[in-house]
Amino acid sequence: MDSSSWHWRDGILTCDLLSQWQHGFFTRSHNPQMPQDLHRSFYSEGVAYRAKQVHGDRLIHAQDISTEPPLPEADGVWVSPEFANAPTSVWVCTADCVPILIGDRRLGAVAAVHAGWRGTAAKIVKETVIQLCQRGSELKDLLVALGPAITGEAYQVSQSVAEQVVATIQTPVGVTPDREPDRCRLDLRLVQQQQLKELGIAPEQVAIAPYCTLQTPEHFFSYRRYCLEHGVEAKRSPQVQWSGIAIR
């Protein structure tokens, strides 16, 4: 992880790779603000779009989302400049899973993707890139920022989970042994980076945030930390942070 390309701006984490766009990986300090509120950190007008996240592989365009409930189910939202007649942003929420922001430096299209182990095993990152390319993007123009998430040293999973995730790549990366039997440590962002590499996206087009959500409680909510502190196995984290990227 190269920390030199990541910067804090008014409590919002940004990535040099995406400097062409207003964007940010927001923190727990912005809770309980929602995307439409956070959008104002980018622009004073416009619309924010998000979906109901279900740990799947579906990517949808902002034009297919109503700003009023019920929200469609998807784990990736994208928008293209021709759709945006006002500043438009797309968002995902996370609490250990990986928030991924993608920008096309030629066409200007952007996407926000949520990928935990299920989404990574379902190849949502690869599917997003493939769908963007089907709509005119070229691999050489896509820039990808993998935001704050639980790191490999902190993320203990079953051997079965690790096998499902690593089965998506030709060269195994991101898995290290654990002291407990039938357990290992899994680095989702290294797997996602490898997925992108095998698609043809160069390493310099990808940046990984140097932060672990579990180990940085002063900045980030963490699903695993919540479960440990409360002694429960919640279905989902009651506390999340948002990540978004905008076009105008």
- Predicted local distance difference test score (pLDDT) of residue 235: 65
Task: Note down pLDDT in tens along the chain; length 248 residues.
Answer: 667 899 999 999 999 999 999 999 999 999 999 999 999 999 999 999 999 999 999 999 999 998 788 999 999 999 999 998 899 999 999 999 999 999 999 999 999 999 999 999 999 999 999 999 999 999 999 999 999 999 999 999 999 999 999 999 999 999 999 999 999 999 999 999 999 999 999 999 999 999 999 999 999 999 999 998 888 776 667 799 999 999 98
Closest listed residue to residue 244, CA positions, set 33, 64, 66, 63: 33
Closest listed residue to residue 61, CA positions, set 125, 109, 114, 121: 109
Closest listed residue to residue 243, CA positions, set 70, 113, 155: 113
Residues in Cβ contact with 171 at an 8 Å cutoff, skipping those fewer than 6 apart: 194, 198
Closest listed residue to residue 131, CA positions, set 106, 98, 102: 102
Question: The domain containing residue 140 runs over which residues?
Answer: 3-150+188-247
Q: How many CA atoms lie within 13 A of 15 on its CB side?
A: 30
**Per-residue tokens: 67:** 């700003």
pLDDT > 90 in the chain, percent:
90
- Predicted local distance difference test score (pLDDT) of residue 125: 98
Evaluate whether residue 214 is within a structural domain: yes
Evaluate whether residue 23 is within a structural domain: yes
- Predicted local distance difference test score (pLDDT) of residue 48: 97
Evaluate whether residue 197 is within a structural domain: yes
Residues in Cβ contact with 223 at an 8 Å cutoff, skipping those fewer than 6 apart: 95, 96, 97, 234, 236, 237
What is the chain's percent helix, strand, coil content, to nearest 5?
30, 30, 45
User: What 8-state DSSP symbol labels residue 28?
Assistant: G
Evaluate whether residue 180 is within a structural domain: no
By DSSP bridging, strand 110-115 and strand 142-146 are unpaired
What is the Cα gyration radius of the chain? 17
Evaluate whether residue 162 is within a structural domain: no
Helix (H) or strand (E) holding 175: strand 175-177
- Chain center to CA of 200: 20
Residues in Cβ contact with 229 at an 8 Å cutoff, skipping those fewer than 6 apart: none
Place of tokens 């992108």: 196
What is the number of structural domains in the chain? 1
Alpha-carbon gap, residue 104 to 78, rounded angstroms: 11
Evaluate whether residue 123 is within a structural domain: yes
Q: How distant, in Å, are the alpha carbons of 9, 21, 186, 207 from that of 124?
A: 29, 22, 17, 18
Q: Is the dihedral of CA 219, 223, 225, 227 positive or negative?
A: positive
- Predicted local distance difference test score (pLDDT) of residue 238: 77
Amino acid at 193: Q
Provide the angle, in degrees to the nearest 10, between the axes of the packed helices 188-199 and 124-134. 30
Whole-model pTM above 0.95? Answer: yes
Alpha-carbon gap, residue 137 to 107, rounded angstroms: 7
Evaluate whether residue 157 is within a structural domain: no
Evaluate whether residue 169 is within a structural domain: no
CATH of the domain at 29: 3.60.140.10
